[in-house]
Structures are given as C-alpha cells and as structure tokens.
Structure 1
Amino acid sequence: MMNSRYFHPESLMMSHGYKPALSEGAIKCPIFQTSTFVFNSAEEGKAFFEVAYGQREKQPNEELGLIYSRLNNPDLQILEERLCLWDEADECAVFESGMSAISTVMLEFLRPGDVILYSKPVYGGTDHFVNKVLPQYGIKGIGFTSLQSESDILEMIDAYGAKDKVKLVYVETPANPTNALFDLELCRKVADKLATEEKEVVVCVDNTYMGPLWQHPLKHGADLVVYSATKYIGGHSDLIAGAVLGKQKYMQRVRTLRTFLGNMAGPWTGWLLMRSLETLKVRMQQQAENAVKVADFLADHPKVEKVYYLGHLKEGTEQYQIFKKQLSCAGAMVSFDVKGGEQEAFKFLNSLKLIKLAVSLGSTESLAEHPATMTHSDVSIEDKQAMGISAKLVRLSIGVEHHADIIWDIEQALERC
C-alpha cells in the first residue's frame, strides 16, 4: 500500500522494500558485497541475534538488523520481500539453487521413519533426491499420479502401511515434462486426513513451471511454495537460484535450517534477481503468447504424434477443470511426441538452428531438450513408461523471440526427421 493505493506487484518490483536514502540516494539497490555488518552497540547486536536465532519473537515495529550475510543481506532481504508480493506469502527465503531450496524443505520436515507423498512425474533432480538420497536417511517416498482420486491415494497409503508416517505432501504442478496438472485442493484434503493431533502434514508445491505469475498455490491449500528461481524469475540463463515462500510458522523453520546449512544465495545473485523481477511479467506474457502459436503449429504437423500443452486441454475433462480453477494462463512450456522414437527426436534436436539444445527453461531464449535421456535420465524405467516420458518426447521452453522465427526453426527441423 502506498498513499492509500494498492499497487500491482509488477508496479512494485522497482521499489518495494528499498529506501534510497539509506544508500546515498541510489535509485537502484546497490550490491552489498560484504560478509559482515557493524553494530551500533553491543545491546543492538544481542537483540539482533535473539531474533535471528529464534530465541524470541520480533517485537511490533522492530526491524531485524543486519548481522552477517549468511543470515541476512540487504540484496536478499529486499528480493525476498518483493517475491512475497506475487504469491501473497508471509515470508520468503532465497537459496543458491532450486535443488537446495527443495532439499532444505524436505530435510526440515522429514525425519528417519517418515514418508514423503509426492506427485509423479517431478523434475529429475527431485526424483533422484526422493528415491536415491532420502532412503539413505530412512525416509521413504510414495508417488501418486494425476489420475488417482483422493480415495485412491488414501487406499494406496493404507496398503503401504504408511498412514501414520506421511509428514510431507510434495506436489509439482504442472508436472515436468508432461504438463500434467494436480488438484491442490485434493492434495490439501489428503494431507488433512493423514494429520493427527500429534502429527502435522505439510503441503509443499513446486511452482517453477508457472512462475510466480500464473499460479498461486498458497491460495489453494499449500503451506509452502518452492521455485527454481533460475527459471522464469531469473529468466536470462545467467544465474542459479531457488526460493521457498509460505506461511510464517513454516518459513521460520526453513529459514533457520538455511542459516545452518549455509545455502542461501549471495548478494550478487540477489541483485541480478531483483533486476529480473522488473521485467518478469512482460517476459512471461510474451513467452505465453508465443507458446500458443507454437503449440497450435505442432498440433497440425503430420510428424507430431501428440502435443502436451495446457492450452489444448478439452473442456469438461478433469484436467481442464483443474486448469480453470488453479491457473490464469497456459504457460510457455510445450512438450510433444515426434512420430518415431529416439532417432527421430535426436534428428529434430540436432537440426535446430535458432532454438538452443540445452536443459533448463523459462529464459528469454527458446530451449529444447530430450527428457528421457537428459533431465529425467535417472528416473526409473517403470516410471518413465507410466508417465509417458518416452524416447519420442521432446520438451520446449518457449522464449521471447518472434514467434514466426521459432515456428520456422521447428518446421525445418521436423522436415529432417
């Protein structure tokens, strides 16, 4: 709120949380490239540490002072305040990568003997952490799909004898790389039915595919939202970062573990992300407009077997109903099955001229990759087959180039398949 007017988030990305008077009047927040900060008095230092280490709650109108860049830094604090605006979150914590954000949440809310209930498919790195790393700590992962109902999921958990062990419901929606949608209200109901007076079940949603613009999971029952900020939030393929946002009581735990793992982003990354937030909406809108045209072209091409694009969901289907309830846009991620198999998919990828053959997504340039052998190569063969991550699947991240040039590139590459 500013002078009795509530500004839109995109209007506040240039100024929110920053006071030029504290930085010699600089219109943009400087890079605070420092490891530590000077206290005005010993008493002030004591007070800052009491709050930072959770020894007491912050008093009304008390500002948490700067201590040490592992705990707080102006670039990160201002960035985190701005990120909260899109999702209307209580707090945000920025990390040095998306996987450090995801793994920190899982390590904070899970203990040996616990179970994580997770949606399938998920990003390959997440799948690896759930199925290869967490089991080493006595934590089991149970996956569910978008085709399963609330009763199906609860019956499956009962069959595993895990009803009293589930502590975290982790959902990636839309799913990478198939764009499968999960009903977040259903996930919330499942979590609540598994909770008891002694055991809370937290719902965490990976919203990377939609960015902070097109879907707001906290409004649909999630407790926490995670992002690979490398993607749309950063949006220029020049940084690695992650973010966790959500309710204060959960964020206090996430932030505390981040302090002692030491995996927060640095001030330079924070500064770059603040720069990127200023153009987030215009970039994502252009990418989404381009994606509509690309998906429509692919749907009519004789060498394309199937297109996975949210804008093509059929009215009346369950997936369409979820889309209308949770999302405000179809996004800019388009996957498709080329007719044939790996050989044809590789011919397509190797023939691209404008679109870059690289992993990641959400950047200004269009990218293409082969999930089965790249981002999701470590996913089990059984899960790949069940989730449709086949040898013929290609994933596109649509950029801000002119849509006619993107389509020309796709067309000439398909001609060589």
Structure 2
Amino acid sequence: MTDQKKNFRRSKIGNHVLKPETQMMGYGFDPTLSEGSLKPPVFLTSTFVFESAEHGRDFFDVVSGRRDARPGEEAGLIYSRFNNPDMEVLEDRLALWDDAEMAIVYSSGMAAIYSAIMAHMKPGEVLIYSQPIYGGTETLMLNVLPKWGIKTVGFAANRSVEAIDEAFEKAAELGPIGMVLAETPANPTNGLVDIAYLASKLKDVRNSSGERPPLAVDNTFLGPVWQKPLDHGADIVLYSMTKYIGGHSDLVAGGATGPTAYLKPMKALRGAIGNQIDPHTCWMVLRSLETLKIRMEKATDNAKIIAEYLRDHDKIEKVHYLGFLEPGSDAHAVYSRQCLAPGSTFAFDVKGGQAGAFRFLNALTVLKLAVSLGGTETLISHPASTTHSGVPKELRDIAGVSDALCRVSVGIENASDLIADLEQALKQV
C-alpha cells in the first residue's frame, strides 16, 4: 500500500493531532478506490461483488461476528443492510467528534435509542430515565417498552441528586436495573443531568446477567461540539442526526458513539432488523459534517443575543437558557463541569398561557413555526400541544412543560432580523 493510500485515515501530522473539523474533509475515504473523486460518491447498490468464494466466506464470518477481523483485515462489503461505503465513511467521521472507538448510524434518532435499549436490556429489567425527555422517547418508555416486559422509572432533570437516588431505589424494588438513559440538556426545558453522578451510581449495580448496566446519554441538544458525554462516564452517546449534525432540515437520521464493547451488540441488532441509514442520506450527512462546527458556533452566538432580548421583554415570564443559570446553583455547577457552551436551543414562557403563546406564534413571519431543531433556519414550536402532547399532563407539569412554554432553535440568520420579528409578534400578546 502506498503512503498516499494510507493517508485517508491520517489523524496526526508528526506530533500534531488533527481536529475533527479538519478530518471531516477526507477522513475514512480513499479517493483511489473511486476514480480519484474528491468527495465520496453515493453508492446506490444493494449488494457487492466478491473477488472469490473465499472472500465471500471470510466477509460473512467477520460481519456476522462469528470471528474477529485479523490484524490488518477489514470486514468486506456484502450487502447494504450490513455495510456500505457511504455508511462506513460516515461512521468513521462521526466517531471522531466524540473521540470514540466506534460509531453506528441509523435511520432516525428514535431508531438509535430503541436499538440501544433492545441490544442491552432483557424482559424483567428496569430502565431509569430523565424527565422531561423528547416526546417520542417518552412514548417509547410508557407505551412500547412495557409490552416487551421492560419497566421504566423516571427522575426529574435539573433537580438535586436526591431525585436520582430515589429513582434508583424505586427501580431496585421493581427488578434488576438494565440501563440508565439521560437526555441532557432536556427537551424542551434545558434541564441538566449530572452524567458523572449517574456513572458513579452504576458502579456497584448489576443487571440480570451480573454485569454493570450501561449509561446512555442523548446528546442531541449540545453534541457533538458542546458536550462530550464519554469524557464524563457515559457508555453510549446517542444522536438524532436530523438535528445539528444534519443541520439543514432536509434529512432524518440517527447515530450512536462509544466503546466497541457497547456498540457491537447494537450493530448486530441493526443488521438483523434493518434500521440502517440509506446511502444517499449518509452522503448528505457527510456533507453536513464539514460545516458542523461553524454552524453550531454561529447559531450559539445568535442564541445568546436572542435570549438576552427575550429576558428583558415584559411579555416574557422566564427564559430557560443555559447561559442564565445562577452561579452557585447545582445546575450551574453541572453546566460548568460538562458543557462547553449553552447551545442554541432553549425555551421561554410567554405571558397569557396558551392563548398568549398562540397569538405570539401565529404572528411570526421570519421564524418558522415547526417542530425539530438544529437547522440553519430558526424554528419555533409549542411543545405542550405538539412534540410533548402525548406525554400525560401530570408529567408535563412536573417537568415544567407548561401551556405558556415555547421552544426556539436559533439558526444562522442575522440576529437583528430575528429580533425584529420577535418584537412585532410579542405585541400581539
């Protein structure tokens, strides 16, 4: 192999370690295998031709997990439910952002969450999770997992560690703890969960197989740029790549990063049930990764300006922005330890309850009234009547998802234009 061909997985120049934003431009892709193409082509194929019957046999042995790859051997391409060149390059690059051993990509963020649970839990075990949490995840917890014999116990994000302790005690009464899932910051209130504390709680816990249960963290709101859960004790990091990673509101995808020991069972499950990402969407996410950091930086700068404007407005009761956490508070201490920036998605309470919130939302012209987040455009929504409408009201009330709450995902527009739109819309409240 020539030095040029080896360079497609270069991570250093001498002793200088290349940063992820630099590696997004070429890592994992060998142009010599694609007619010298600068960018990975879209490999629209369902299956791949073997060089020989022996190669086919060996590829299946490795991909199926019947044996590990030998030194210098890579799992060959077989069938696009198992692997595909676009998918492999995307997984290589996604892992770099979290400095992870491995990454897996999925057809959606919910597919990633579901796969993490099903690959690591058994009927009769208990899943502990933070609240509030994305409405789709809450539906999974309350309506789907019980059918598979998995029990769930929630705890309030942004509360004291006593809430976590109580959840562990309650879960232990119901059965063996099989997993802990934390979404931090929480959707939509930005409540924070102390990842390191959860990891410490799990040290002496054993599941029904006698093993320590994994800690999974949904890192969609801040990751992978502004929060690194693996550094704080998480075992599995989960993403809706539809959001900041995809970043243009034009695809649906999910991902997971972490140690091979935790992700290998998830990859085997993906191959069995077929919830992988398609080649074209892989290609689109690869495009997005090249601008991920600069998009998140610009959106974060804009969000600070918007949050400060809203905090001072007489029609706004409260702004749930991480940059406004009170120094000395438990939440501020957690933020200082595990977050690198406040991000660009936050919520705020409009005076007048749902009626006031709806008048405000209906008057907006530049901000787009839509669910989702993390795109280049600014999106705003009313969680209680949309993304969290399937969550029982008593749980919404406990979590602070009130009828007055609006969630905004600030984009990369000119901030003064966004403020002008907010100003005219708030006059309707």
TM range (shorter): over 0.9
Q: Return the letter of the residue paired with 1:73.
A: N
Instruction: Determine the C-alpha separation between the residues in 2 that align with 1:55 and 1:381.
Output: 48
1:138 to partner: Cα distance: 1.4
Superposed CA offset, 1:172-198 (max 9, x none): 000000000100011111222322781
Equivalence for 1:352: 364
1:261 and 2:273 matched: yes
| Residue type at the aligned position of 1:107 | M
Q: Which residue of 2 aligns with 1:228?
A: 240
Task: Tell me which residue corresponds to 2:72.
Answer: 61
| Alignment match of 1:3 (pick from 13, 37, 60) | 13
Deviations 1:393-412 (A, max 9, x none): 00000000000001111111
**Identical positions, percent:** 47
The answer for the alignment partner of 1:342 in structure 2 is 354
Q: CA offset at residue 87 of structure 1?
A: 0.3
Instruction: Indicate conservation of the 8 Å contact 1:150/1:190, yes or no.
Output: no
What is the aligned partner in structure 1 of residue 179 from structure 2?
168
SS in 2 for 1:72: coil
The answer to whether residue 428 in structure 2 is matched with residue 394 in structure 1 is no
C-alpha change, 1:85 and 1:147, in structure 2 (3 Å) is: closer
The alignment partner of 1:231 has SS state of: coil
1:104 aligns with 2:115: yes
**Cα distance in structure 2, aligned partners of 1:122 and 1:155:** 18
Q: Distance in 1 between matches of 2:76 and 2:376?
A: 36
Distance 1:87 1:159 in 2: 32
**What's the TM-score once normalised by structure 2's chain length?**
0.95
Please, which of 383, 387, 397 is the counterpart of residue 375 of structure 1?
A: 387
| Residue 160 (structure 1) shift | 5.1
Distance in 2 separating the partners of 1:158 and 1:366? 41
Q: Residue 140 of structure 1 is aligned with which of 141, 148, 151?
A: 151
In the alignment, is the contact (CA less than 8 A) between 1:167 and 1:199 conserved in 2?
A: no
Q: Does structure 1 retain, via aligned residues, the 8 Å contact 2:348–2:405?
A: yes
Q: 1:291 is matched with which residue?
A: 303
CA distance in 2, matches of 1:148, 1:162: 22
Match of 2:290 in 1: 278
What is the rounded CA distance, in whole Å, between the counterparts of 1:323 and 1:354 in structure 2? Answer: 31
Residues 199-238 of structure 1 aligned to structure 2 (within 5 Å): 199-238=211-250
**Structure 2 residue runs without a partner (length 5+):** 1-10
Letter of the 1:279 partner, please give it: T
The correspondence for 1:320, drawn from 318, 332, 335, is 332
Asked if the contact 2:104/2:255 (under 8 Å) is kept, the reply is yes
Which residue is 1:180 aligned to? 191
SS of 2:245's partner is helix
Amino acid at match of 2:190: N
- After TM superposition, give the deviation of residue 58 of structure 1 in Å: 1.3
Q: Which residue pairs with 1:305 in the alignment?
A: 317
Q: Secondary structure at the match of 2:154?
A: strand
Provide the C-alpha distance between the structure 2 equivalents of 1:230 and 1:19, rounded to a whole number of angstroms. 26
CA drift of 1:106 comes to 1.2
Greater alpha carbon shift after TM alignment, 97-106 vs 169-178? 97-106
Tell me, yes or no, if the aligned pair for 1:157 and 1:163 is still in contact at 8 Å.
no
Is 42-51 or 267-276 further displaced after alignment?
42-51
Matched, 1:406 2:418: yes
Counterpart Cα distance in 1 of 2:408 and 2:105: 27
SS of alignment partner, residue 29 of structure 1: coil
**Matched residue, 2:168:** 157
Kindly provide the CA deviation profile for residues 371-410 of structure 1, in whole angstroms up to 9, marking residues without a partner as x: 0000000111111111110000000000000000011111
Within 2, Cα distance between the matches of 1:285 and 1:2?
25
Q: Give the whole-Å Cα distance in 1 for the aligned partners of 2:51 and 2:146.
A: 47
Query: 2:135 aligns to what?
Result: 124
Structure 1 residue identity aligned to 2:426: L
Q: How far 1:162 sits from its partner (Å)?
A: 3.2
1:76–1:94 contact (8 Å) kept in structure 2: yes
Structure 2 contact 126–174 (Cα < 8 Å) conserved: no
Greater Cα shift, 41-50 or 301-310? 41-50
- Does the 8 A contact of 1:164 with 1:194 survive in 2? no
Instruction: Decide whether the 8 Å contact of 1:163 with 1:194 is kept in 2.
Output: no
Residue 14 of structure 1: aligned partner: 25
Instruction: List runs of 5+ in structure 1 lacking aligned partners.
Output: none
Deviations 1:61-86 (A, max 9, x none): 11111111000000010011001111
Name 1:38's counterpart in structure 2.
49
Does 143-152 or 339-348 show the bigger shift?
A: 143-152
Moved more, 212-221 or 146-155: 146-155
Amino acid at match of 1:190: K
Give deviations 1:29-64, integer Å, cap 9, x for gaps: 100000011111111111111111110111111111
User: Which one is further off, 21-30 or 3-12?
Assistant: 3-12
**Alignment partners' CA distance in 1, 2:12 and 2:235:** 28
1:100 and 1:263 in contact (8 A); partners too? yes
Asked if residue 78 in structure 1 is aligned to residue 96 in structure 2, the reply is no
Residue 59 (structure 2) pairs with residue 48 (structure 1): yes
Amino acid at match of 2:186: A
Distance, in Å, in 2 between the alignment partners of 1:152 and 1:120 is: 11
Cα RMSD of the aligned pairs, angstroms, is 1.3
Aligned-pair CA distance for 1:151: 5.0
The amino acid of 1:359's aligned partner reads V
Residues 83-98 of structure 1 mapped to structure 2, 5 A cutoff? 83-98=94-109
Q: Structure 1: which amino acid aligns with 2:13?
A: N
8 Å contact from structure 2 (residues 156, 163) kept in 1: no
Contact map agreement 1:369 1:394 (CA 8 A) in 2? yes
Maintained 8 Å contact 1:115/1:162? no
- Rounded Cα–Cα distance in structure 2 between residues aligned with 1:169 and 1:337: 30
